[in-house]
Structure 1
Amino acid sequence: MKKMEKETKHHIEVEVETRYIESQSLPKEQRFVFSYTVTIRNDGESSARLMNRHWIITDANGKTQEVRGEGVVGEQPQLNPGETFRYTSGTVLDTPVGSMQGSYDMIDAHGNHFDALIPAFSLARPGSLH
């Protein structure tokens, strides 16, 4: 029986908190501003660097925006096992409710690329959802 070598496991946990920014929103002009704070935690066995981001932002009318770019907030953070990185960014929707989802293109210490998935989360002005 052939013994298999243990493969390095990647486990990047992504948590998102959202906030409606009333002071920057103009509901009569269909402008709804949201901030989102992302916490990225490396629960894996290898260090990993966030190289690129990919977001899919959808409003209540089904209008979709795709955002791709290097890093996040001007950084390409390196996360060693057990480390976290937290940042805040924002987006503007034409409706009081929407959602975001996406992925981070990561590279591990061995030069292997992998995707850290960001599950869909809601953006909602308070009182917009029941």
Structure 2
Amino acid sequence: MTVDEIVYRTDLPAPPDRPHSFEYFISIHNDTDCAVTIKGRKWVIRDDRDGVVAVEGDGVVGEMPTIEPGNKFSYNSRHILDHGWAVAEGSYIGIDANGRKVLTRIPKFKMTVPDE
């Protein structure tokens, strides 16, 4: 699993109370010897004001991709902030072709609003 890129985006719509958009690009790699289907995810996002948000859900960006051995599934999504910075981390939950649970950690990455 890699965080391929994090981009601060001023051209994406955002609500006035959270005007700072970050787009992130992620690849989930299957380094096992059998197919893995991603069934869900859990994110924990902490900000510079000690705020914590947990986000859980089925699949990834509306899909439950099956990743064959040696392949990867890449996607992009975004997060919006009102100020400062936030650190995101979490995990993907999958099931392999043999019915075993697979947990893949999402390493911490930081989104920092540029100086205003």
**What is the TM-score with the length of structure 2 in the denominator?**
0.88
Match of 1:53 in 2: 41
- Report runs of 4+ in structure 1 exceeding 4 Å deviation: none
Are residues 1:94 and 2:82 paired? yes
Aligned to 1:22: 10
1:69 to 57, 70, 82: 57
Is contact 2:84-2:112 (8 Å) kept?
yes
Q: How far 1:40 sits from its partner (Å)?
A: 0.9
Shift of 1:78: 0.5
Using the TM superposition, name which of 100-109 and 14-23 deviates more: 14-23
1:33 equivalenced with 2:21 (yes/no): yes
Contact 2:18 2:80 in 1 (8 A): no
Instruction: Give me the identity figure in percent.
Output: 33
Greater strand content: 2
Q: 2:98 aligns with which of 105, 110, 116?
A: 110
1:106-127 superposed Cα distances (whole Å, 9 cap, x missing partner) = 1011111121011111112345
TM (norm. structure 1) is 0.79
Q: Is the 8 A contact 1:25 1:32 kept in 2?
A: no
Q: From the two aligned structures, give the one with the greater helix fraction.
A: 1
Larger Rg: 1
| More deviation, 113-122/90-99 | 90-99
Unaligned runs of 5+ in 2: none
Aligned-CA RMSD value: 1.9
Which segments of 5 or more consecutive residues in structure 1 lack a partner in the other structure? 1-13
Query: Which position in structure 2 is the counterpart of 1:7?
Result: none
Task: Tell me the alpha carbon deviations over residues 61-120 of structure 1, each in whole angstroms, 9 at most, x when there is no partner.
Answer: 111111100111111110111111111111112223111000000101111112101111
Q: Any idea what the Cα deviations from partners look like across 1:33-67, whole Å, max 9, x if unmatched?
A: 11111111111122111000100111111111111
Task: Give aligned pairs, total.
Answer: 114
